[in-house]
Structure 1
Amino acid sequence: MSTSGKKVAFHTLGCKLNFSETSTIARDFRDEGFERVDFSEPADIYVINTCSVTENADKRFKSIVKKAQSVNPDAFVAAVGCYAQLKPEELADVDGVDLVLGATEKFKITQYLNDLSKNDFGEVHSCEIQDADFYVSSYSIGDRTRAFLKVQDGCDYKCTYCTIPLARGISRSDTLQNVVRNAEQIAAQDIKEIVLTGVNIGDYGKGEFGNKKHEHTFLDLVKALDQVDGIERLRISSIEPNLLKDETIDVVAQSRAFVPHFHIPLQSGNNEMLGKMRRRYRRELYVDRVNRIKKLMPDSCIGVDVIVGFPGETDAHFLDTYTFLQELDISYLHVFTYSERDDTPAATMEGRISLKKRKKRSKMLRGLSAKKRRAFYESQLDSTHEVLFEGENKKGFIHGFTENYVKVKTPWDPALVNTTHEVQLKEIDEDGLLRFSFTEENQGVMA
């Protein structure tokens, strides 16, 4: 099949890890002669990288397929990613889908394209998940101010609500040498910030050379990346509290490039619920992690994942979680309303919570999150920080983030894109973002 002049477009659902893998797949298409275009533009092939975390994954997928078909009804449509691994036949049955590739096949997508003719039925190539035992390096580049660098894949944890081990397989890691090399390649592209991503990045080192032994640890990774020239910022994405060791927190506190921002899943502030979820810690450990971070980095930002409406969660359990979070020195919450996932132990547990009650609890925690973020932002007023500006014009404004993840805005100026500036945080606006004044060369200019 001649690929000269052929166009490909991508749509990514879900996590930072998916974005890193989409970018890697896109580079494979480029190497085969395809031109990448925006998903809203006519293309010969549309690739949708799916997510399985939310219960609306199927609805979102169908709407994205329809969007592609509305632009080019004759385009070839391929589905890859977690939902494609878990429910390949369901995706193949969606009108307009021509190809579905599972966990290992997605990285060989160009090999499955004999031609780009529409199929009467979606063609499925999906491995048994136990065969997803090899590692594919990935990172995003060229489409964002920051890069997402994949360092680890899969998970050996058995949380009772989670489908990720079924969708991505066992825990395995990139080699330390490869990670450092990828970071150097990203730095060479003048990207200022790298976000480390994976399924369970604190487990880094397991499966590094195809075995379960840890040749390196997450601490080794942090120390090695801190030495890479040309990267101004390194940010750790979600990391399990039991895998965020004292030594890692200590190194980040003294680091050249790692920023004072942590995202640490909690899921419940009640120990009985944590046990039912089969989490590997109790809330006392979580408090210890937060206290150590705040002691060493008082201005640090700490984000928290929470699940509401898990089977058996009584009003007392929920209020225990709410009070726990209210008293904890954290900065914001990511709230997930529990949804039953096929083939997980939690889906058959007794004590199912009504959807109405789940939504009510979710609303309460989202309200608490808004209060926590506001309080964190207020604590940063009149302080000085480095802001890295993003590349998008949003209603006449450009946004950026401080090293400790405070979001700021100023009137659009293309000269600011992908640059860092020292600013003094001044006030919180009606959108909950911080306005600021530049220091240094832009002294006195108000945003």
Structure 2
Amino acid sequence: MINSSAFQGKKAAYFTLGCKLNFSETSTIGRLLGEMGVVTAAKGEPADICIINTCSVTDMADHKCRQAIHRMVRENKGAFVVVTGCYAQLEPETISRMEGVDLVLGANEKARLIQYLSEAWTDKTDEENGLHRHFSVATKDIKDFAPSCSRGNRTRYFLKVQDGCNYFCTYCTIPYARGFSRNPTIDSLVRQAEQAVAEGGKEIVLTGVNIGDFGVSTGETFVELVKELDKVGGVKRYRISSIEPNLLTDELIDYCASSRAFMPHFHIPLQSGSDAVLKLMHRRYDTALFAHKIRLIKEKMPDAFIGVDVMVGTRGELPEYFEETYRFLESLDVAHLHVFPYSERPGTAALKIPYIVSDREKKLRSKRLLSLSEEKTEAFYARHIGTTAEVLLEKAARGKAMHGFTRNYIRVELPSSQADEALDNQIVTVRLGDFNSDRSALKITL
């Protein structure tokens, strides 16, 4: 039994590392604590409870997690510190021994964070330096699904439609951290979308670990989910956060092209433009299939924004394989590259691949691809200068410019002289002008 009276008026601080899915989950935890009377601590204000939702996609992510934990403990003396997320699932004992950490919860336990917190809350007074408790189960036993549809302090809602992954790519620890693929029912997700509308939400981003795999738990399919969500009339926009190319079916592309609310915006992980490297990674597609998906999207939705994940310097990526990747990406009609260097992860099959790329070479390869990405993004934006577009504007600090995104994910900027709180979370028709000062957005006029 949760005693919410013990939490009335307590202040909580939150820190999230990693993906949109983590952000969504942290926002939901914050909402649940809020229902118990907990308020969010103001910036610089000491908190009674600290929630740190971690990532472990790279070695650098682990390092940032440790830094965040130390900082939260240092800045919030005596606070009850809870660490959860992927790093917590993979290294629960290590984290639990850190000074000031009270509770470490793995992937299966995250869904019951409020219950664990409530049970341990009164015990904190008996411990001088923290409870140092950790709870996690083996990957095969991660079966719980923690629902999440929340926006935190943002405009968009993030709806968690799936969790876990069955793919086990050679470089990746996420299946170990998140467990096997699982999902709720379409009906339950439709109800969450309807609730978001009731709260004033206009845009929902579908999130998950491998969302195209939706349906393994319920016998449904991702395209069926998309079609049912599209019927929720109050939602003006949906975005699909990331979907594997082999799961991005031609049927789904066709549907999105003519749908009521699914935007012409796709984020598709490629990882490598070399078929030899894709085989080493145990990816489930080749460059021919990937190129087909890009061509089909552009055929059906010429103005679609397409973002692509690409990893550089993975084990086995010979110089000629990287050149294949560069030429392949150069040939694709995409708008953005999310470039990240390969990071050695303990326990992954990639460690058995003999050829190792030096850190220096990884940086050089990353730099080349980042330059290519900038060229592609600027070219995509430039093609839309002088056109009109619908933009969902987002709240800005007083005296600052407002920003938002077009249907096809062009970031726009409304000058502070025209910014108005009444425009927050409103869809307005604008004219797209030239680039702003740092070329990160197009200037707009109402």
Where 2:246 maps in the other structure, the secondary structure is: helix
The total of aligned residue pairs comes to: 432
Where 2:7 maps in the other structure, the secondary structure is: coil
Aligned residue type for 1:203: D
Where 1:153 maps in the other structure, the secondary structure is: coil
Contact in 1 for aligned 2:336/2:377 (Cα 8 Å): yes
Where 1:223 maps in the other structure, the secondary structure is: helix
Alignment partner of 1:430 is 2:437 = yes
Q: Per-residue deviation at 1:436?
A: 2.1
Out of 12, 15, 30, the residue aligned to residue 11 of structure 1 is 15
What residue is the counterpart of 2:402 in the other structure?
Answer: 398
Contact in 2 for aligned 1:78/1:100 (Cα 8 Å): yes
Q: Deviations over 1:223-265 (max 9, x none)?
A: 0011102111000110000000111111111011110000000
Aligned-residue CA RMSD in angstroms?
1.6
TM-score by length of 1: 0.93
Q: Deviations over 1:101-123 (max 9, x none)?
A: 10111222222233244544621
Alignment partner of 1:192 is 2:202 = yes
In the alignment, the residues of structure 2 paired with residue 142 and residue 98 of structure 1 have an alpha-carbon distance, to the nearest angstrom, of 24
In the alignment, the residues of structure 2 paired with residue 271 and residue 59 of structure 1 have an alpha-carbon distance, to the nearest angstrom, of 32
Aligned residue type for 1:138: S
Out of 288, 307, 313, the residue aligned to residue 311 of structure 2 is 307
Contact in 2 for aligned 1:25/1:107 (Cα 8 Å): no
Alignment partner of 1:223 is 2:222 = no
What residue is the counterpart of 1:172 in the other structure?
Answer: 182
Q: Per-residue deviation at 1:142?
A: 4.3
Contact in 1 for aligned 2:86/2:106 (Cα 8 Å): yes
CA, structure 1 residues 121+57, in 2 after alignment: closer, same or farther (shift >3 Å)?
farther
Alignment partner of 1:123 is 2:133 = yes
Where 2:99 maps in the other structure, the secondary structure is: coil
Where 2:29 maps in the other structure, the secondary structure is: helix
Q: Per-residue deviation at 1:344?
A: 0.6
Q: Per-residue deviation at 1:395?
A: 7.4
Q: Mean Cα displacement is larger for which, 68-77 or 353-362?
A: 68-77
Out of 122, 133, 140, the residue aligned to residue 150 of structure 2 is 140
Q: Mean Cα displacement is larger for which, 65-74 or 298-307?
A: 65-74
Where 1:18 maps in the other structure, the secondary structure is: helix
What residue is the counterpart of 1:182 in the other structure?
Answer: 192
Contact in 1 for aligned 2:111/2:145 (Cα 8 Å): no
In the alignment, the residues of structure 2 paired with residue 296 and residue 110 of structure 1 have an alpha-carbon distance, to the nearest angstrom, of 46
In the alignment, the residues of structure 2 paired with residue 110 and residue 312 of structure 1 have an alpha-carbon distance, to the nearest angstrom, of 44
Q: Deviations over 1:132-166 (max 9, x none)?
A: 11322111134210000000011111210111110
TM alignment of 1:201-350, pairs within 5 A: 201-208=211-218, 215-350=219-354
Alignment partner of 1:419 is 2:426 = yes
Identity %: 50
TM-score by length of 2: 0.94
Where 2:150 maps in the other structure, the secondary structure is: coil
Q: Mean Cα displacement is larger for which, 382-391 or 116-125?
A: 116-125
Contact in 1 for aligned 2:413/2:436 (Cα 8 Å): no
Where 1:57 maps in the other structure, the secondary structure is: helix
CA, structure 1 residues 299+322, in 2 after alignment: closer, same or farther (shift >3 Å)?
same
Q: Which runs of 5+ in 2 are unaligned?
A: none
Where 2:299 maps in the other structure, the secondary structure is: helix
Alignment partner of 1:26 is 2:30 = yes
Q: Deviations over 1:350-381 (max 9, x none)?
A: 10111110111011111111111001001111
Q: Per-residue deviation at 1:431?
A: 1.3
Q: Which runs of 5+ in 1 are unaligned?
A: 209-214, 439-447
What residue is the counterpart of 1:92 in the other structure?
Answer: 96
Q: Mean Cα displacement is larger for which, 20-29 or 79-88?
A: 20-29
Q: Mean Cα displacement is larger for which, 123-132 or 223-232?
A: 123-132
Q: Per-residue deviation at 1:38?
A: 4.3
CA, structure 1 residues 394+244, in 2 after alignment: closer, same or farther (shift >3 Å)?
farther
Aligned residue type for 1:246: D
Q: Per-residue deviation at 1:394?
A: 8.8
